[in-house]
Amino acid sequence: MPDILFRDAIKLGLQEALDNDPSVFIMGEDIGAYGGAYAVTDGLLDQYGPERIKDTPISEATFIGAGIGAAIAGLRPVIELMSISFSLVGFDQIVNMAANIRYMSGGQVNVPMVLRAPTGAGVQLAATHSQSFETWLCEVPGLKCVCPSTPYDALGLIRSAIKDDNPVFVAEPAMLYSKKGEIPNEYYEVPIGKANVIKSGSDVSLISYGHGIKIISETANYLEKNGINAELVDLRSLNPIDTITISNSVRKTNRVVLVDTARKTGGVMSEVASLITENSVDWLDGPIVTVGSDNVPWPYNHDLEKKAFVDVQSVVKAFEKGYGV
């Protein structure tokens, strides 16, 4: 099982799709000669040519709309945004068009399109380039939304996303592009809508996604030293959410801490908390504990950004306060 960078896992999935399906092409800002904002598409222009690796103007609404049209016409575009923050410029195309066309046409028209974007803070890009708008996009019916936490999941989810006949938004945590992880030599896919129990435990369920998995893993190691056996659940898919895996974990451990690297207010974990309340609240021995980053615009200054970002200490403190341990 070779080690591979997170960005290279995504690139491998894109190369496979380009090699195996002539209807796949990639479009976005500076994805050609420059190789993309995080070097995911580096070298693809030379390998596949400008017909399939298309640089676009700085106009997200325009090239997302062009991608929707291409998808309706039978192609499978992969649209790269420089930042999920810029999805706002194309929200009408994503939310009102891509997500709704299949429904408005009575299932006669599909939009098999993938949108990819770096998400989240932690890399000193300041307030306007550090948003986590997967928290907004995962609310949209008709739009699937995923967020990988490892190279294994990044490759498996991009494979599934490109094959899906629905629009899929792949939110890629900016802090993870240079992280390494193992992938198998054998072909696999990660199904959209299926969470992953990373570690089995008996005392508390720690649930997160994306970069948050690193935080809950480190939290579990800390708790282990204090005799607390934590179960770790990676959502992977934000729409649809795997309610069954979440419920099974909570009913097993009877305690839960939900960790969001995005701002706590309005985050993905608010929806998870609602689902737990509806399905498993009677199994809990205490409150649903939620932890997130501070409700402030993201600072550029490294120390201030780090202070605003959720960390192991804040998760442990919230757990101890919630359950009196």
Are residue 70 and residue 10 in the same domain, yes or no? yes
Instruction: Kindly state whether residue 187 falls inside one of the protein's structural domains.
Output: no
Instruction: Kindly state whether residue 55 falls inside one of the protein's structural domains.
Output: yes
Instruction: Kindly state whether residue 207 falls inside one of the protein's structural domains.
Output: yes
Instruction: Kindly state whether residue 298 falls inside one of the protein's structural domains.
Output: yes
Are residue 118 and residue 14 in the same domain, yes or no? yes
Whether residue 132 contacts residue 261, with contact meaning beta carbons closer than 8 Å, is answered with yes
User: Per-residue pLDDT for 70 more than 80?
Assistant: yes
Distance of CA 232 to the CA centre of its chain: 17
Domain of 209: which CATH number? 3.40.50.920
In this predicted structure, what is the pLDDT of residue 324? 86
User: Per-residue pLDDT for 1 more than 80?
Assistant: no
User: Per-residue pLDDT for 51 more than 90?
Assistant: yes
Question: What is the 3-state composition of the chain as percent helix, strand, coil, each rounded to the nearest 5?
Answer: 40, 20, 40
Whether residue 276 contacts residue 268, with contact meaning beta carbons closer than 8 Å, is answered with no
Mark which of 182, 213, 233 sits at the end of a domain: 182
Instruction: Kindly state whether residue 190 falls inside one of the protein's structural domains.
Output: no
Mark which of 151, 182, 213 sits at the end of a domain: 182
Identify the active-site residue in 16, 29, 51, 60: 60
Give the end-to-end CA distance of the chain in Å, rounded to a whole number. 40
Are residue 232 and residue 138 in the same domain, yes or no? no
User: pTM of the prediction?
Assistant: 0.96
Report the alpha-carbon distance of residue 206 to residue 216 in Å, rounded.
6
**Is residue 129 annotated as part of the catalytic site, yes or no?**
yes
In this predicted structure, what is the pLDDT of residue 289? 97
Are residue 165 and residue 236 in the same domain, yes or no? no
Are residue 14 and residue 71 in the same domain, yes or no? yes
Domain of 100: which CATH number? 3.40.50.970
75-89: average pLDDT = 97
pLDDT digits (tens, 9 = 90+) for 99-141: 999 999 999 999 999 999 999 999 999 999 999 999 999 999 9
Mark which of 182, 208, 224 sits at the end of a domain: 182
Q: What is the 3-state secondary structure (H, E, C) of 10-51?
A: HHHHHHHHHHHCCCEEEEECCCCCCCCCCCCCCCHHHHHCCC
Model confidence at 268, pLDDT cuts 50, 70, 90, reads very high
Report the alpha-carbon distance of residue 139 to residue 95 in Å, rounded.
10
Whether residue 128 contacts residue 89, with contact meaning beta carbons closer than 8 Å, is answered with no
Are residue 225 and residue 143 in the same domain, yes or no? no
CA angle 146, 151, 152 (to 5 degrees): 80
Report the alpha-carbon distance of residue 109 to residue 103 in Å, rounded.
8
User: Per-residue pLDDT for 155 more than 90?
Assistant: yes
Model confidence at 2, pLDDT cuts 50, 70, 90, reads confident
Instruction: Kindly state whether residue 252 falls inside one of the protein's structural domains.
Output: yes
Are residue 167 and residue 121 in the same domain, yes or no? yes
Instruction: Kindly state whether residue 188 falls inside one of the protein's structural domains.
Output: no
Are residue 49 and residue 97 in the same domain, yes or no? yes
Q: What is the total count of domains within the chain?
A: 2
Are residue 155 and residue 224 in the same domain, yes or no? no
In this predicted structure, what is the pLDDT of residue 276? 97
The mean of the pLDDT values for the chain is 96
Instruction: Kindly state whether residue 225 falls inside one of the protein's structural domains.
Output: yes
Are residue 173 and residue 282 in the same domain, yes or no? no
Strands, sheet with 288-293, edge to edge from the N-terminal-most edge strand: 196-199, 230-234, 204-208, 256-263, 288-293
**Is residue 16 annotated as part of the catalytic site, yes or no?**
no
Are residue 161 and residue 39 in the same domain, yes or no? yes
Are residue 112 and residue 30 in the same domain, yes or no? yes
Domain ranges, residue 68: 3-182
Report the alpha-carbon distance of residue 34 to residue 90 in Å, rounded.
22
In this predicted structure, what is the pLDDT of residue 246? 98
Nearest residue to 236 via CA among 218, 211, 257: 211
Identify the active-site residue in 29, 80, 129, 211: 129
Q: Residue 10 corresponds to which tokens in the numbers above?
A: 């995504």
Model confidence at 22, pLDDT cuts 50, 70, 90, reads very high
Whether residue 220 contacts residue 207, with contact meaning beta carbons closer than 8 Å, is answered with no
